């Protein structure tokens, strides 16, 4: 395979991974399904969804936790059997989970189908597409490629929200799940055939190394990975960066949608574009500036946004345009985490065990999002104000900035 063929193959893998990533956005369509289920519950129609209103978010919450924790196992499997088979397994789990939803209104079945099976399926696919893509490119493009891949998930809400609304309105929620079961399985399996790892000797081929930059090549097993004190610092920084974004992202988006009313759809698109661009820009910046500088810039940016948000809540200024800009920027800042931390994991611990190592790191995303979102909801329930959530976010970001400054990291690499 000559240099031109290798370059084309690398971009084919990246584009295919991006398309699969967009397909995984079914995970983020829960708000559409939840609204439909809530309406069925309140209608009191017999033989329909007999759930308690307090349990409406359970399938999604379970799915996020299963997704994040499954990344450890699915990442290890991907490292062993390769990305293509792992992606096909993921597509099977996603399809089967959605098929179960198409056949039942039972709460347990929905937790099993959407919460557990969909979560596992998304983990298999997500753990496979990024490692495969970045292995085809030189180290100075790691962040950019990772950012392009994960931006697909952010962009998925642009199509999946209006499509789900249309399908549910025309065919009902069960038929919609059946159509999704078939469609996503086909898309994931078809594009999995364009994804593969490079030849075994590819990474050590001199012509594909960047001659201007010196990269510290380190390969660490998961056990060695967990023995480093640096890991726990970085894990907690990820917990803060992702958790803070998710804890305020949900309710400020609801405020935007309420304020825009019939124009809410455009708000969703703009916010999704902000989130997706954050992933690409964050990855590209980490390639240019190094992971530490990029993290520091983005955490300070998030801190400024939280301070502005606190002031807005204090003066009670909820103008839709202001909230839309703020939400888009918060989404941008949050999105950078999803590109920077794969880059950090690869820089520090290598590619050999990247799947399982990043899976361990990714648990910070799941725990940060679920725990801090829960705390945010509790704070709002007790104070009936969003300001306490923003103040909590400010405090956590200050801790994160302190930890970033304490990391012993050169411009390009972390030093253990």
Return the structure tokens found at 214.
């010196």
Instruction: With beta carbons less than 8 A apart as the criterion, state whether 372 and 244 touch.
Output: yes
Distance CA 119, CA 110 (A): 12
User: How many residues in the chain?
Assistant: 416
Return the structure tokens found at 374.
């829960």
Closest CA to 179 of 163, 190, 192: 163
Tokens 């301070």 -> residue: 307
pTM summary value: 0.83
Instruction: Report in angstroms the alpha-carbon separations of 108 from 111, 113, 149, 182, 336.
Output: 5, 8, 33, 22, 35
Return the structure tokens found at 410.
């050169």
3-state DSSP assignment of residue 274: helix
Q: ∠285-287-290 over CA atoms, to 5°?
A: 80
Closest CA to 282 of 147, 130, 135, 141: 147
Distance CA 205, CA 211 (A): 12
Distance CA 157, CA 141 (A): 26
Return the structure tokens found at 183.
């469609």
Long-range contact pairs involving 404-410 (C-beta distance under 8 Å, separation at least 24):
404/237, 404/292, 404/295, 404/296, 404/299, 405/296, 406/233, 407/230, 407/233, 407/234, 407/292, 408/230, 409/290, 409/291, 409/292, 410/290
Instruction: With beta carbons less than 8 A apart as the criterion, state whether 222 and 353 touch.
Output: yes
Domains and CATH numbers, the chain: 3-199 (1.20.1250.20), 219-406 (1.20.1250.20)
Return the structure tokens found at 21.
């990533």
pLDDT of the chain, 416 residues: tens digit per residue: 556 666 688 899 999 999 999 999 888 778 788 888 888 888 877 778 888 887 888 898 888 889 989 998 998 899 889 999 999 999 999 999 999 999 999 999 999 999 999 999 999 999 999 989 988 888 788 889 999 999 998 888 788 878 888 899 999 999 999 999 999 999 999 999 999 988 877 654 444 444 444 445 567 777 777 877 888 999 999 999 988 887 776 666 666 666 666 666 666 777 788 889 999 999 999 988 888 899 999 999 999 999 988 888 788 766 777 778 888 898 899 889 999 998 888 888 887 888 888 889 989 988 888 888 778 778 777 777 778 888 999 999 999 999 999 887 554 444 33
Residue 193, judged by CB atoms within 10 A of its CB (0-12, 13-18, 19+), counts as exposed
């Amino acid at each position: 395979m000559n240099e031109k063929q290798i370059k084309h193959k690398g971009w084919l893998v990246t584009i295919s991974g991006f398309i699969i990533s967009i397909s995984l956005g079914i995970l983020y369509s829960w708000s559409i399904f939840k609204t439909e289920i809530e309406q069925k519950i309140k209608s009191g129609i017999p033989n329909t969804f007999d759930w308690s209103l307090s349990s409406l978010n359970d399938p999604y919450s379970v799915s996020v936790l299963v997704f994040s924790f499954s990344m450890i196992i699915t990442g290890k499997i991907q490292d062993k059997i390769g990305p293509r088979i792992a992606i096909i397994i993921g597509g099977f789990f996603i399809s089967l989970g959605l098929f179960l939803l198409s056949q039942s209104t039972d709460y347990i079945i929905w937790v099993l189908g959407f919460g557990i099976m969909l979560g596992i399926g998304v983990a298999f696919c997500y753990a496979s597409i990024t490692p495969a893509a970045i292995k085809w490119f030189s180290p100075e493009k790691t962040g950019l490629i990772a950012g392009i891949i994960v931006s697909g998930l952010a962009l998925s809400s642009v199509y999946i929200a209006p499509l789900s609304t249309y399908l549910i309105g025309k065919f009902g929620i069960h038929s919609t799940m059946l159509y999704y079961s078939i469609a996503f399985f086909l898309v994931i399996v078809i594009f999995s055939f364009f994804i593969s790892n490079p030849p075994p000797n590819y990474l050590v081929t001199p012509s594909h190394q960047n001659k201007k930059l010196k990269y510290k090549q380190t390969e660490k097993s998961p056990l060695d990975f967990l023995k480093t004190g640096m890991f726990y610092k970085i894990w907690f920084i990820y917990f803060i960066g992702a958790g803070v974004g998710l804890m305020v992202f949900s309710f400020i988006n609801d405020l935007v949608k309420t304020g825009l009313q019939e124009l809410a759809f455009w708000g969703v698109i703009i916010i999704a574009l902000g989130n997706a661009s954050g992933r690409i820009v964050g990855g590209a910046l980490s390639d240019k500036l190094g992971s530490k500088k990029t993290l520091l810039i983005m955490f300070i940016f998030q801190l400024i946004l939280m301070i502005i948000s606190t002031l807005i809540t204090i003066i009670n200024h909820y103008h839709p345009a202001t909230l839309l800009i703020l939400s888009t920027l918060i989404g941008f800042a949050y999105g950078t985490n999803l590109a920077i931390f794969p880059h950090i994991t690869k820089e520090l611990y290598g590619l050999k065990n990247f799947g399982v190592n990043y899976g361990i790191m990714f648990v910070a995303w799941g725990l940060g999002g679920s725990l801090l979102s829960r705390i945010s909801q509790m704070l709002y329930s007790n104070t009936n104000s969003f300001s306490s959530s923003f103040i909590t976010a400010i405090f956590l970001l200050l801790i994160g900035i302190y930890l970033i400054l304490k990391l012993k990291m050169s411009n390009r690499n972390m030093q253990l």
